[in-house]
Structure 1
Amino acid sequence: MRFADFPFLRYLPFLVLGVLLSQDSPLIPVAPLASLIGIFWVLYAYLIFAKRKVSKLVPAALAYGMLFLLGVLLSENQKIRRGESVDIKLGECDFYLARVEKYDVPKPNSLENLVEVIQIKDSTGWISSKGKVLVYHRGADPLIPGQVILVKKCPEPIPPPLFPNEFDYSSFLARKDIHFRHFIGNDFRIVDSTAQGAPRFWLQRTRKQLAAVIDELVPNPESRQIAVALLLGQKETLDREIREAYAKTGTMHILAVSGLHVGIIYAILLFPLKGIRTKARSRKLYLILVILLIWLYAVLTGFSPSVVRAATMFSLLTAGQMRERKPSSWNILAFSALIIISMDPAVIFEVGFQLSYLAVAGILLLQPIILKWWLPPNRILEYFWQITAVSLAAQLATFPLSILYFHIFPSYFLIANLVIIPLSFVVMNAGIVMLALSWVPWLGKVLGLSVSGLIWLQNWFTRVVQDLPGGNLERLTITFWGMLLIWVLLFVWANWEWGDRKSLIYLALVLFLLWSGDRLMREVSRPPAELLVFSGEKGVLLDFRAGGQHFSWNENLPPEQISFSIDPNRIAAHRPQLPESALAVREGKVLSFPLFGYQFEAGRNKFLWGGRRPLLIERVLPDGSCEPLPIDSLIANNGAFRVVF
């Protein structure tokens, strides 16, 4: 098979490249972009239909150019829509009216909800407004979608990250058009409840009713949480302990409704067709029903990228069965990505989207090779070998990106998945039947007890694997070039038998040289000694490195902020989680560090260098870029600073 045999796989990179270019650029006018696409299309059509004798590269360049410009256009349209979706005056109002969009999600000290602002009141009176606000309340009664609440004061913008490598929660929410938050406590009033039954909230009501059925029939609290996540895609109520157990065993994908779950639903729906001869017309009608039910499940579980990807792929496969042909899996995968990106260009920045497509690509590319390693003697062993091959292929493709984002690797992912995947298949079968027959009193209870017991067994096994020695490799790091090198090596391995080996070797060698050059440049540019200052509203933390030794001093920075905001930077820079405590002499508010030769005035966050003047002082921005500062002294207020000696 040639690469030219996968047209949608060829189209996808150009669309993605256009989106990436647009996301990091200033706003580009939409009208010229649309006009340019039109010109390209006219030229392309003229060359094709007029049958002019020109190089094949010309129409190809026009076609790929159109895809690139389309990516830019889609991204620019999304940027404009997002800019129009929020009123900047919202952060300066005295009161606001807002419509409740969700049911409450329990948090440690409050209830979280999402509201859509309708009107605000400022010095001029009540005016129309818009914008989404995350609210945290302590009301006696829960908020229900469709209610309108009156809230005093104004919400605050969600703050951007302060330190480099810190998770950008504000950008994460901005991609969902959420730009404000408000801790309202009891300082609000419900003023209207007439829209609770509106059709637009049908999905929330349906999911709430199904969750209530699970709460009623599944007695074990932990099993109940997993059932809601597994069947409905609602992970908000999962305990932290359960999340960590599944994450550290490499089975978190079980709890995040994904292609695996859609595949299970698909297998259940296609089961009646096995071994039964039906007329062509009846078979087509049933397959259409299968497609509709798959998309209904996608709607009920919240339309996550992995579910949409899987629903699109299985829909296209089913359509192929109607025509008695099997379309290319690579084309289906790329086509589903094109559809999702066209609907939401910024989805390419979501970790779930990236991991989902990498996992499926890894399975398509590597699973056939892994299956050849062994020929099982019976069907039972073959079934488990198939699961093993799928798990290995998906893990090989996704682990570089997982290390980049999460810095962990589950050592026993194979053992865990060999048990958890079949168990989750049984749980989903029993759970779907439970939800469908919950109205039958005795049967619903029996099925609820069965689901509860199966999930209890699943949780127990997950914890057993989690507690095995060396079960989780932590604080791992990888560079961008290192990640690309691993993927290229996997590609070379997968294509070694039938590909152009000379070209594959050259490709691997080029990436190896780029990776080696990147590592060399990092080592050469690494100074012999440096001080990193992390200054927040509640305190300051100092990390000092001299050669291979690491020291630290914490001046009132809360431990939870260190874990969330600073530890990611320590991991990225290969610094220890708990550096040795620096020696300091305190005189009032002034701290002297004799080993390093500088003083720190805690009240003003001011550094005095004494006899050891730094070579460079710079503010390190959250995106990793730096702004040089004067080297005489440093006042470190709210941000990260780097001092090179």
Structure 2
Amino acid sequence: MGNTLPKEMIIALLTLFFAVGIIAGYYINPPVSSALYFLIIALSFFLFIYRKSKNQLIQKPYFSISTWLLVFSFGILSYTIHHTPDQKRHYSHYLTDNAIIEGTITHRLKPTEFSERYYFEISRIDHLKTNGRILLSSKQKKFSPGDKLIITEIPKPINSPLNPYQFDYAAYMEKQNVFHQLNLTNNYIITGKNKSFNYYLDQIRNRLIGSFNHDIFTSKEIALLNALLLGQRQDLSPETTETFASAGAIHILAISGLHIAILFFLLNLILKPLNRLPKRGKTIQLILLLLFLWGFAILSGLSPSVVRAVIMFSFISIGQYLNRKSSMMNSVAISMLIILLFNPKQLFDVGFQLSYTAVIAIIVLRPVYKNIKFSKYRAVNYFTDIALISIIAQLSTLPLCLYYFNQTPLLSVVTNIIVVPLTGLLLTFGLLTLLLNFISLHLANVTGAILKWLIQILNSYTEWIAGFDSFTIKEITFPLLFSITLTLAIIAFGIWLRKPTFKTTITVLTCFIFFQISYLGYKTYMNNKSELIVFNNYNESVISIKDRNRLTILCNDTTAYPIKTIKPYLTASFNPKPILTQLNTLLWFKGQKIAIIEPNTIYPENLNPDIILLSHSPKINLEKVINEMKPKTIIADGTNYRNLIQHWKATCHKQNILFHATAEKGYYKLE
């Protein structure tokens, strides 16, 4: 294996197979015992092949296969071990109707429009020790990390999306090992403070960000500084986030490799005089550098992107200390492997995927762009390098961005040419001002004024770029199939850039043709679909009928139909222009008769519909309606009262009639 692969690729391939094992563990979700048995089999196979191949001069591929299989099995086991519901002490095994829950607020999350949100670590249920965390929401009170609560209500599972193609928040939270949620009203008491690591970390952050002069900085600027310097984005307004996203500069708001690279350069510059010390100067410099980097990572919340960058630059620093040229790819692979060993579910985090994809692409294509010089002037070449790196990052992450966000900003390269160096200045003056806040308020006000001016330039520039709406393509239909095939095409294109031969050219063309075929095939499939969907909407009944390319939306108010409810469905259907039609009390679809019963609805005798849709809580005797109309299915949409839905469900169960409530099961589809 060592003779056939470059050294820098061995760790990368180990990490790749470990990640594939985690993905397999997620989809298979085997018991820990089964994962352990598979690991033992893989280990036995590896030891047998290793012993057999020791005496062989020419190595056969069996040793490599056994190695990758072993690492793959480690990935599966790692996922199953870290899947918290499989742990004996997980809170979910102790929940009862009258359970009393004790625990601590650990993190404040980004609030919604209606409430604050927190992670809550459960320590006891009915005085029994447990573990695991849930999601808390509160409209009445703002909590902070360390607050101890006793809760007298049972948490509920996080709801899956109730309408087609909506963002699956339950699946997202499951990947964060959070499976339940709870709204705090009058169902809790505060019992004190748990002065844990998160408590002290929150106190330090609040003191640091509170040290900025509020006479100089506005609350909006303070929120931006909190994000840039400490990685806390909770108080950023939705307008600010949307502006940076539209301008292609959303990565600036999250501490990432860019911020750590700038900090690494500044610390090296500041600590360089220590090299002149006769004894242990380089050792002291290394230790201080690592302490500052990891201290900054801890203050910023140890996010995956920060940990990755800090680990990578830590390895680079150690390599410089030992006078060895460390491999960037190895540094990235090791950092990824360490993160996944401690938290395998980070592999499914969008930020984690985007960050590593961009960094790996930049490293792989470095031999291509590092020798490109457009001018004899260093300043011109500096901005050219930023533009080229930005293009590589945007192209490499394009399949992920289109899949997760259904949009792409075309002006991100133009944005980053100014924003990247500006971020360096912001971090420099931000950290300097933060330090001077505790040393000299007079000097802090001077640097703070410069910092405020830089923030205003950043905001003005991103707002100007974001103003070009036509350069941000939104609502792009891009399912997982497109993401996979486009990723293969981009990888092939990257290989061609490094080695433009006839074979790589054919490979690139084949991959792009495969992407086009998948696009045309999927679009043809979607265009030929015929289906009726009853959406879950709380204000009014909404039904869509798709007959090939023709899409009709039926609702009571065609002038103000709920676009948010059906927008994901329109995007997934390649954005056809819907025909808005008034909802009638009787519909036909593929030979099936659908009767809609609302308050004061009157039907002729012997109607005999196949499906009855109950809307706006009609006061009916459902048992009598079933006996008279003899439907096959009863649907209750989101406009009905929940107590009526439960009553109807019991009636249908008694009458052996299929019942579907959209508020519980989600949208109803008829094909």
Say yes or no: TM over 0.5: yes
Unaligned runs of 5+ in 2: 602-606, 612-632, 636-656
* Alpha carbons of structure 1 residues 413 and 383: separation in structure 2 relative to 1, 3 Å: same
Task: Describe how 1:197-216 pairs up with structure 2 within 5 A.
Answer: 197-199=195-197, 201-214=199-212, 216=214
Does structure 2 conserve the Cα–Cα contact (< 8 Å) formed by 1:249 and 1:410? Answer: yes
1:245-273: CA deviation from partner (whole Å, max 9, x where unpaired): 00001000000111111111101111136
Q: Which residue of 1 aligns with 2:452?
A: 452
Does structure 1 conserve the Cα–Cα contact (< 8 Å) formed by 2:368 and 2:497? Answer: no
Shift of residue 354 of structure 1?
A: 0.6
Q: Which residue of 1 aligns with 2:104?
A: 99
Q: Which residue of 1 aligns with 2:401?
A: 402
Q: Which residue of 2 aligns with 1:64?
A: 68
Shift of residue 151 of structure 1?
A: 2.9
2:173 is the counterpart of 1:173: yes
* Alpha carbons of structure 1 residues 497 and 424: separation in structure 2 relative to 1, 3 Å: closer
Shift of residue 51 of structure 1?
A: 1.9
3-state SS, counterpart of residue 266 of structure 2? helix
Task: Give me the whole-angstrom Cα distance separating, in 1, the residues matched to 2:50 and 2:234.
Answer: 51
Shift of residue 302 of structure 1?
A: 1.4
Does structure 2 conserve the Cα–Cα contact (< 8 Å) formed by 1:371 and 1:389? Answer: no
Q: Which residue of 2 aligns with 1:622?
A: none
3-state SS, counterpart of residue 24 of structure 1? helix
Does structure 2 conserve the Cα–Cα contact (< 8 Å) formed by 1:98 and 1:150? Answer: yes
Does structure 2 conserve the Cα–Cα contact (< 8 Å) formed by 1:105 and 1:111? Answer: yes
Name which of 21, 26, 29 aligns with 1:18.
21
2:640 is the counterpart of 1:642: no
* Alpha carbons of structure 1 residues 99 and 471: separation in structure 2 relative to 1, 3 Å: same
Task: Describe how 1:369-518 pairs up with structure 2 within 5 A.
Answer: 369-370=368-369, 374-439=373-438, 440-496=440-496, 499=499, 501-512=501-512, 514-518=514-518
Q: In percent, how many aligned pairs have the same letter?
A: 23
3-state SS, counterpart of residue 324 of structure 2? coil
Task: Give me the whole-angstrom Cα distance separating, in 2, the residues matched to 1:211 and 1:567.
Answer: 39
Task: Give me the whole-angstrom Cα distance separating, in 2, the residues matched to 1:210 and 1:275.
Answer: 28
Q: Which residue of 2 aligns with 1:33?
A: 38
Does structure 1 conserve the Cα–Cα contact (< 8 Å) formed by 2:534 and 2:543? Answer: yes
Shift of residue 503 of structure 1?
A: 3.8
* Alpha carbons of structure 1 residues 482 and 373: separation in structure 2 relative to 1, 3 Å: farther
Q: Which residue of 2 aligns with 1:76?
A: 80
Query: Given residue 28 of structure 2, which amino acid in structure 1 is its aligned partner?
Result: S
Q: Which residue of 1 aligns with 2:184?
A: 184
Q: Which residue of 1 aligns with 2:136?
A: 135
Does structure 1 conserve the Cα–Cα contact (< 8 Å) formed by 2:555 and 2:561? Answer: no
Q: Which residue of 1 aligns with 2:256?
A: 258
Task: Give me the whole-angstrom Cα distance separating, in 2, the residues matched to 1:265 and 1:97.
Answer: 40
* Alpha carbons of structure 1 residues 110 and 407: separation in structure 2 relative to 1, 3 Å: closer
Does structure 1 conserve the Cα–Cα contact (< 8 Å) formed by 2:486 and 2:515? Answer: no
2:49 is the counterpart of 1:51: no
Q: Which residue of 2 aligns with 1:601?
A: 596
Q: Which residue of 1 aligns with 2:155?
A: 155
3-state SS, counterpart of residue 381 of structure 1? helix
Task: Give me the whole-angstrom Cα distance separating, in 2, the residues matched to 1:309 and 1:43.
Answer: 35
Task: Give me the whole-angstrom Cα distance separating, in 1, the residues matched to 2:221 and 2:330.
Answer: 39
Shift of residue 15 of structure 1?
A: 1.3
Unaligned runs of 5+ in 1: 611-616, 620-631
3-state SS, counterpart of residue 171 of structure 1? helix
Shift of residue 539 of structure 1?
A: 5.0
Task: Describe how 1:246-645 pairs up with structure 2 within 5 A.
Answer: 246-272=244-270, 278=276, 281-370=280-369, 374-439=373-438, 440-496=440-496, 499=499, 501-512=501-512, 514-519=514-519, 521-522=521-522, 525-526=525-526, 527=528, 529-535=530-536, 540-554=541-555, 563=564, 566-576=566-576, 579-585=578-584, 590-592=585-587, 599-603=594-598, 608=609, 637=662, 638-644=665-671
1:31-61: CA deviation from partner (whole Å, max 9, x where unpaired): 313422441343244235x424674212212
Q: Larger RCO: Structure 1 or Structure 2 (Cα < 8 Å, ≥ 6 residues apart)?
A: 1
3-state SS, counterpart of residue 470 of structure 2? coil
* Alpha carbons of structure 1 residues 38 and 382: separation in structure 2 relative to 1, 3 Å: same
Task: Give me the whole-angstrom Cα distance separating, in 1, the residues matched to 2:356 and 2:241.
Answer: 22
Task: Give me the whole-angstrom Cα distance separating, in 2, the residues matched to 1:554 and 1:91.
Answer: 42
* Alpha carbons of structure 1 residues 33 and 210: separation in structure 2 relative to 1, 3 Å: farther
Shift of residue 600 of structure 1?
A: 4.2
Query: Given residue 81 of structure 2, which amino acid in structure 1 is its aligned partner?
Result: N
Task: Give me the whole-angstrom Cα distance separating, in 2, the residues matched to 1:524 and 1:130.
Answer: 49
Does structure 2 conserve the Cα–Cα contact (< 8 Å) formed by 1:218 and 1:224? Answer: no
3-state SS, counterpart of residue 535 of structure 1? coil
Task: Give me the whole-angstrom Cα distance separating, in 1, the residues matched to 2:593 and 2:85.
Answer: 51
Query: Given residue 61 of structure 1, which amino acid in structure 2 is its aligned partner?
Result: I
Query: Given residue 72 of structure 1, which amino acid in structure 2 is its aligned partner?
Result: I
Does structure 2 conserve the Cα–Cα contact (< 8 Å) formed by 1:607 and 1:634? Answer: no
Q: Which residue of 1 aligns with 2:121?
A: 116
Task: Give me the whole-angstrom Cα distance separating, in 1, the residues matched to 2:494 and 2:122.
Answer: 52
Query: Given residue 75 of structure 2, which amino acid in structure 1 is its aligned partner?
Result: G
3-state SS, counterpart of residue 518 of structure 1? helix
Task: Give me the whole-angstrom Cα distance separating, in 1, the residues matched to 2:61 and 2:224.
Answer: 54
* Alpha carbons of structure 1 residues 494 and 149: separation in structure 2 relative to 1, 3 Å: closer
- The range that moved more, 225-234 or 55-64, is 55-64
Shift of residue 293 of structure 1?
A: 1.5
Q: Which residue of 2 aligns with 1:4?
A: 6
Shift of residue 276 of structure 1?
A: 8.7
- The range that moved more, 4-13 or 418-427, is 4-13
Task: Give me the whole-angstrom Cα distance separating, in 1, the residues matched to 2:254 and 2:608.
Answer: 47
3-state SS, counterpart of residue 582 of structure 1? strand
Shift of residue 531 of structure 1?
A: 2.3
Q: Which residue of 2 aligns with 1:231?
A: 229
Shift of residue 306 of structure 1?
A: 1.3
Shift of residue 441 of structure 1?
A: 2.1
Does structure 2 conserve the Cα–Cα contact (< 8 Å) formed by 1:133 and 1:178? Answer: yes
Does structure 1 conserve the Cα–Cα contact (< 8 Å) formed by 2:100 and 2:152? Answer: yes
Does structure 1 conserve the Cα–Cα contact (< 8 Å) formed by 2:555 and 2:581? Answer: no
* Alpha carbons of structure 1 residues 101 and 501: separation in structure 2 relative to 1, 3 Å: same
* Alpha carbons of structure 1 residues 63 and 111: separation in structure 2 relative to 1, 3 Å: closer
Does structure 1 conserve the Cα–Cα contact (< 8 Å) formed by 2:532 and 2:545? Answer: yes
* Alpha carbons of structure 1 residues 560 and 179: separation in structure 2 relative to 1, 3 Å: farther
3-state SS, counterpart of residue 95 of structure 2? helix
Task: Give me the whole-angstrom Cα distance separating, in 1, the residues matched to 2:274 and 2:87.
Answer: 55
2:242 is the counterpart of 1:244: yes
Query: Given residue 258 of structure 1, which amino acid in structure 2 is its aligned partner?
Result: S
Name which of 87, 90, 95 aligns with 2:95.
90
Does structure 1 conserve the Cα–Cα contact (< 8 Å) formed by 2:156 and 2:181? Answer: yes
Task: Give me the whole-angstrom Cα distance separating, in 1, the residues matched to 2:404 and 2:552.
Answer: 26
3-state SS, counterpart of residue 19 of structure 1? helix
Query: Given residue 217 of structure 2, which amino acid in structure 1 is its aligned partner?
Result: P
1:430-452: CA deviation from partner (whole Å, max 9, x where unpaired): 11111222122222233333322
Shift of residue 401 of structure 1?
A: 1.1
* Alpha carbons of structure 1 residues 16 and 131: separation in structure 2 relative to 1, 3 Å: closer
